[in-house]
Amino acid sequence: MARTKEFDPDAALRAALDLFWERGYEATSMADLVERLGVARASIYATFGNKHDLYLKALDRYGDLVDPILLRDLSQPGPALPAVRALVERYACEAGGDGGRRGCFIVNTAVEVAPHDRQAARRVAASWDYLETAMTSALIRAQSQGELAPGRDPRALARLLLVLMQGIRVVGKVSAEPRRLRDAAAQALSLLD
C-alpha cells in the first residue's frame, strides 16, 4: 500500500515559488528547499522531481496565479484604455516600491535562467505572449469604442508596452528612483493619446 503524503504539495510548491523568487534559481540549493518547505529531500524528489523540475513547476504556478488577474483587469466591460493605462502604471508603481527589488518571477527567470534553459525560456515567452495578447485585445476593444485612434496598430502598441513593462521590472530591481519608472511609463502611455 502506498504511503500518504505527509505534507500539502500545493503549500510546498508555493513555498518553493517564494524561495526561488526571493533568491533566484542558482542561489537556491536543495538544502534551502528542504529547510523552507519542511519536507524531506526524498519527498521533494518523489513529488516534484529535481530542483530544475521544481523550479519549472513554480514558474507554472506563478503564471497560474498572475495571468488570470491580468486578463480580468484588461477585459472588464466599459472603457478599455483606462485598464491598459492602469496596468502600465501599476507595473511602474510596484517596481518603484519596496517590493520592486524582488522583481517579477517571470522577468527574474528571463534574466537569470532563460538564456541557457529552453524550458524556462518557453515559459517566459508564453507568459509574455499571454500578456501581449490580453493587451492587444484590450487595445482593439479601445479602438472599436473610439478610445484609440483608428490609425494606431493595437498589436504594435501592445508589444511596445510589454517591452516597457518588462524593462520597468528590471530597472526597478536596482534603481532607487521610482520617478524614472513613472516618467518612462507616462511617456509610453502618451502614445495612446
In the prediction, which pLDDT does 1 show? 43
Q: How far apart are CA 17 and CA 63, in angstroms?
A: 11
Backbone angle region of 76, left / alpha / beta, with phi > 0 → left and psi within -120 to 50 → alpha: beta
In the prediction, which pLDDT does 100 show? 64
Does the pLDDT value for residue 125 go beyond 60? yes
Q: Give pTM, 2 decimals.
A: 0.90
Q: Which distant-in-sequence residues (6+ apart) come within 8 Å of 1 by Cβ?
A: none
